[in-house]
Amino acid sequence: MFLRQTFGHSIRSNIAAGVVVGVVALPLSLALAVAVGVPPATGLYTAAFAGFAAAVFGGSAFNITGPTAALVPILAHVVLTRGAAALPMLALMSGGLLLLMSAFRFGRLMRFMPGLVVTGFTAGIALSLAFGQLNAFLGVSGTNPKVEHFHERVWDTFTHLSSVAPTTPLTGLAILALLIVWPRLPAVRRVPGPLVAIVAATAVATAFGLDTPTLAQRYGAIPSGIPVPSLDFLDVGIALSLLPSAASVAMLGAVESLLSAVVADGMASAEKRHDSNRELFGQGIANLVSPIMGGMPATAAIARTATGIRNGGTSRLTGVVHAVTVLTATVVLGAWAGRIPLTALAAVLLIVAWNIAEVPAVNRLLRRAPREDLIVLVMTVVITVFFDLTYAIGFGVATSGFLLIRKLLRLPAVQALVPDEAGRIQQVSAELSDLIQARPDVTVFTLGGFLSFHSAAAFEYELWGAEDETLILRMKDAHSIDTTGLLTLEGVIEHRLSHGRRTMLSAIQPEMLPVLRRFGILDLVGHENVFAATRDAINSVKPRADDGRDGAGLAGPQQVKLESSI
């Protein structure tokens, strides 16, 4: 299957795109590993081996997998509290959880993650990532590496600003300016800016002997060989304590990967869309392979995926070549990478943080979104930054669900169709409005979209007081009803029958018919009182000026299957 999907497209364009993405991934992988607090080679191995596995086994033909900024706060917290040795075990556990999510077909459920929650925790992650780079960007020394909470880390940095020498922040500012200007230069913008910045910073620092910390000074020499597979990191004793963090990594990895796949499908205008459950499977395999080969947890990266598509990537071959390119560069250039100034990597990550925060989009939401939604957005950001991503996601989803239920409670379960001040019934067509007003002897109510436990009491209250001889329940807008709603509807009909009053149902939606038939509602109301159109129900009732007998309904259950426009 892999060969068929790959060689059905242009091999040359996919190889070229893979090389470009691999070049882009090199400085990012180094920078993200440093941000987490592990040796730089860990990031390179993650991009190479996790990227290869996800490209082969994943459900998207375009996703590029590797270390990502989204995972940095969680991974950095684990490294800070449990040490770097716990990271491979974390990756293995998150990989197993992703496989379980794939097996239980959770792929589609991820689509129901509220957009504000995703925006909120992404912005929170960006803030944590950006502030986490201040020490490296400025060259702050003497800080306490065991400080865990955001506000404590910021204060620790602020109290040690006196240790900053001008060389490091000036170098960082120069690299930051280059990264900002580079994409705006049409002649060279196809060359990856982060790579240019890293090479330039290293060359200048080496040539002029700048006194600024480098990768080798902080982490020692970077290995230039291919890692040997190993399971020495297995430690069942810490598995239970790592479970919450592993669940956070798996959840965030699933959301990021599926979001990247959706974006990629749109950019590539692909006829065949990604398979969400297979993508979760591929990400699970990638996170099982990564720690065995010396890597850390990984997920699909939206920016690298977009880079591959923009440069001609059309198949999985792009992801495979990206992985091979990173591994080849690691072997060939590993020794040289130790000279990279840490402030240059920090500058790269500051740009990454700005991009993933989507500041213009967040600013637009802050100015225009409803106040209730703003509470979800702001609190998700705050909880992500000051507490934990797991709590932020839980709060965001729970609050969004609560607000949705509250909005449902405000929707009327049933409304009497009466004219407004202009003499028009707004809920129906002009024709039906005139017909209803011409028949004051018939009362017509329209049901809301979802008759459930949250609206059953209001529904019963409204209809219990309808003492008219003939009542029509227009169900064109009713699309769902639960057991509580069925019992309430049944009680209303039985109450009216006991008082010799007629109840009619009209314009029943096709999905509602089997439910009403199985529960016995249609038999209770009588099939002669079930109509495909509300106008037919009204016309079946003889005016009181006639002989006083109600006309029999002409519509049987078969006619109800035809949805009426009114």
User: Does residue 548 register a pLDDT over 50?
Assistant: no
Q: Residue 103's CB: how many other CB atoms inside 10 A?
A: 12
**HSE toward the beta carbon, residue 438, CA cutoff 13 A:** 12
pLDDT of residue 560: 44
48-59 pLDDT tens trace = 999 999 999 999
Amino acid at 316: R
Query: Among 2, 62, 114, which residue's Cα sits nearest to residue 377?
Result: 114
Q: Mean of the pLDDT values across residues 552-563?
A: 40
pLDDT of 417 reads: 75
pLDDT reported for residue 559: 43
The whole-number pLDDT of residue 547 equals 43
Closest by Cα among 212, 262, 220 to 110? 262
pLDDT at 565 over 70: no
Cα 359 to the center of its chain, rounded Å: 17
What pLDDT was estimated at residue 3?
47
Pick from 413-422, 508-517, 536-545: least confident = 413-422
Percent of the chain with pLDDT over 90: 28
How many Cβ atoms from other residues are within 10 Å of residue 152's Cβ?
A: 12
**Structural domains of the chain, ranges and CATH numbers in brackets:** 2-140+156-404 (no CATH), 414-560 (3.30.750.24)
Of the two residues 93 and 69, the one the predictor is more confident about is 93
Compute the average pLDDT of residues 145-150.
75
Q: For position 270, what pLDDT does the model report?
A: 62
Q: At residue 330, does pLDDT exceed 60?
A: yes
| pLDDT, position 566 | 44
For β-strands 442-447 and 470-474, DSSP reports them as: parallel
**Residues 51 and 327: beta-carbon distance below 8 Å:** no
Q: How far is CA 448 from the centre of its chain?
A: 30
Spatial separation of the C-alpha atoms in residues 129 and 117, rounded to whole Å: 18
Tell me, what's the pLDDT at 557?
Answer: 39
**Closest by CA position to 338, among listed 202, 455, 446, 244:** 202
pLDDT exceeds cutoff 80 at 491: yes
Q: Which residue has the higher pLDDT, 450 or 508?
A: 508
Is residue 16's pLDDT more than 60? yes
**Cβ–Cβ contacts within 10 Å for residue 479, how many?**
15
What percentage of the chain carries pLDDT values higher than 70? 90
What does the pLDDT look like over 469-479, one tens digit per residue? Answer: 788 888 888 87
Hunting for tokens 């230039």 — which residue is that? 224
pLDDT at 545 (0 to 100)? 56
Q: Around Cβ 108, how many Cβ atoms within 10 Å?
A: 10
Give the chain's radius of gyration (CA, Å).
Answer: 31
Question: For 233-288, what is each residue's pLDDT tens digit?
Answer: 999 889 999 999 999 999 989 988 998 898 888 888 666 788 999 999 999 999 99
pLDDT range class, residue 411, cuts 50, 70, 90 = low
**What value does the mean pLDDT take over residues 286-304?**
94
Q: pLDDT at position 553, please?
A: 40
- What single letter denotes the amino acid at residue 61? A
Give per-residue pLDDT as tens, 364-408.
888 888 888 888 888 988 888 888 777 887 888 888 888 877 776
Looking at the DSSP bridge assignments, the partners of residue 299 are 66
Residue 71 main-chain phi, psi, to 5 deg: -90, -10
Is the model more confident about 500 or about 64?
64
Per-residue confidence band for 412, with pLDDT thresholds at 50, 70 and 90: low
Q: Is the pLDDT of residue 556 over 50?
A: no
Q: Please determine, for residue 214, whether its predicted confidence score (pLDDT) is greater than 80.
A: yes
Considering only 95-109, 279-293, 434-448, which range has the smallest mean pLDDT?
434-448
φ, ψ at 414 (rounded to 5°): -155, 140
What local confidence, expressed as pLDDT, does residue 465 receive? 63
pLDDT category, 445, cuts 50, 70, 90?
A: confident
Name the burial class of residue 317, with classes exposed (0-12), middle (13-18) and buried (19+) by CB atoms within 10 angstroms of its CB: buried
Rounded average pLDDT over 556-561: 41
- For position 174, what pLDDT does the model report? 94
Q: Is pLDDT of 178 > 50? A: yes
Average pLDDT over residues 313-318: 91
Pairwise CA distance, residues 484 & 502, whole Å: 22
Mean pLDDT for the chain overall = 84
Q: Is the pLDDT of residue 139 over 80?
A: yes
Query: So what's the pLDDT on residue 549?
Result: 41
- The count of other CB atoms within 10 Å of the CB of residue 4 is 7
